[in-house]
Amino acid sequence: MIGWVRLESGAVTTRSSTDAARVIPEATVARLPVYLRALTALADNGIRTCSSEDLATAAGVNSAKLRKDLSYLGSYGTRGVGYDVDYLRYQIAREIGVTQDWPVVIVGIGNLGHALANYSGFRSRGFRVVALLDADPALVGRTVADIAVRPFDDLDEIVREHDVAIGVIATPAHAAQDVADRMVGIGITSILNFAPAVVAVPEGVDVRKVDLSIELQILAYHEQRKANGGAEAAAAAADGVDAAGGGAA
């Protein structure tokens, strides 16, 4: 359907048709979890089938975009009928990789680290917090959310023992790069960074950042334009501000 993968240099590989050209656009990847959440909500309400229009409404997107996104995964709907909620849910979960369990370590058990440790949405979505780490000796030994806080230097041991691939940084900004370097050094290849700092990582390691201040500043920018009446406000209104875009990136 989408065609074969072109290779610029000579080598030509044949592929089984099952994994044909699976290059899912990044923008689509970022929306799949939203669809998954919407499907779960529908299933919880006892809905077994839905149209792209229904699901799009539940996910807060346009139905054309939804259908196009789903088409990258395959043809899991039925024309004239719609999608089977449970079936589609499973397919998306499998595509994202949340049918399996992902062990996660959290580094920096301060205000935010406490909240994260207590967050139930972690576990319910296929992520398991295997360790809480902090450099502060006063915190080590305390238990948060039934997990003992351990010294940061235990990172190596824990990552090896549980085969951890995902690390969360919730330390102050000045420590973020050091923590990231240690994580990468031990083989962690995905990092979620809550510290307001740019962390540099080698090729092959993914970093996603969550920055509250940036989100607020983006809101402030639009707010300022709304407040400044006249031409500027008109221009701001015209671009259909509805946002909820981040994601990131």
Ligand X SMILES: NC(=O)c1ccc[n+]([C@@H]2O[C@H](COP(=O)([O-])OP(=O)(O)OC[C@H]3O[C@@H](n4cnc5c(N)ncnc54)[C@H](O)[C@@H]3O)[C@@H](O)[C@H]2O)c1
Partner DNA sequence: CGCATTTTGTTCTCACGTTCACAAACTCCT
Partner DNA sequence: AGGAGTTTGTGAACGTGAGAACAAAATGCG
Q: Is 39 exposed, middle or buried (0-12, 13-18, 19+ CB in 10 A)?
A: buried
115 binds ligand X (CB under 6 A): yes
Given ligand X, DNA, a copy of itself, none, residue 134, with its beta carbon under 5 to 8 Å by kind, binds ligand X
Q: Which does 63 bind (CB under 5 to 8 A by kind): DNA, a copy of itself, ligand X, none?
A: DNA
Residue 167 in contact with ligand X, rule: CB under 6 A = no
CB of 59: closest distance to a copy of itself in angstroms? 6
Report whether 105 contacts 133 (CB < 8 A). Answer: yes
Q: Pick the piece of the chain touching a copy of itself (CB under 8 A) from 68-76, 78-86, 177-185, 193-201.
A: 193-201
Cα 231 from chain centre: 38
Kindly state whether residue 67 participates in binding DNA, applying the rule CB under 7 A: yes
Residues within window 205-224 making contact with ligand X, judged by CB under 6 A = 212
Q: Does the footprint of DNA cover residue 35 (CB under 7 A)? A: no
127 binds, among ligand X, DNA, a copy of itself, none (CB under 5 to 8 A by kind): a copy of itself
* Residue 64 binds to a copy of itself (criterion: CB under 8 A): no
CB burial of 53-78 (b: ≥16 within 10 Å; e: otherwise) equals ebbbebbebeeeebbebbebbeeebe
The enclosing H or E element of 93 equals: helix 85-96
Round the CA-based radius of gyration of the chain to a whole number and report it. Answer: 22
Which 75-94 residues touch DNA, going by CB under 7 A?
Answer: 75-83
Distance from C-alpha of 210 to C-alpha of 200, rounded to nearest angstrom? 15
107 binds, among DNA, a copy of itself, ligand X, none (CB under 5 to 8 A by kind): ligand X
Report helix angle 85-96 to 26-44, nearest 10.
140
120-131 burial, b at 16+ Cβ within 10 Å, e below that, comes to eebeeeebebbb
Cα distance between residue 51 and residue 37, in whole Å:
16
Among residues 45 and 75, whose Cβ is nearest to a copy of itself? 45
Q: Candidates 36, 55, 104, 116: give the one binding ligand X (CB under 6 A).
A: 116
- Smallest separation, CB 211 to ligand X (Å): 7
Nearer to ligand X, 25 or 172 (CB): 172
How far apart CA 55 and CA 40 sit, in angstroms, is 11
Q: Note the residues at the interface with ligand X (CB under 6 A).
A: 107-113, 115-116, 118-119, 121, 134-136, 139, 152, 170-173, 175, 178-179, 194-196, 212
Q: Note the residues at the interface with DNA (CB under 7 A).
A: 1, 25-28, 50-53, 61-65, 67-68, 70-71, 75-83, 239
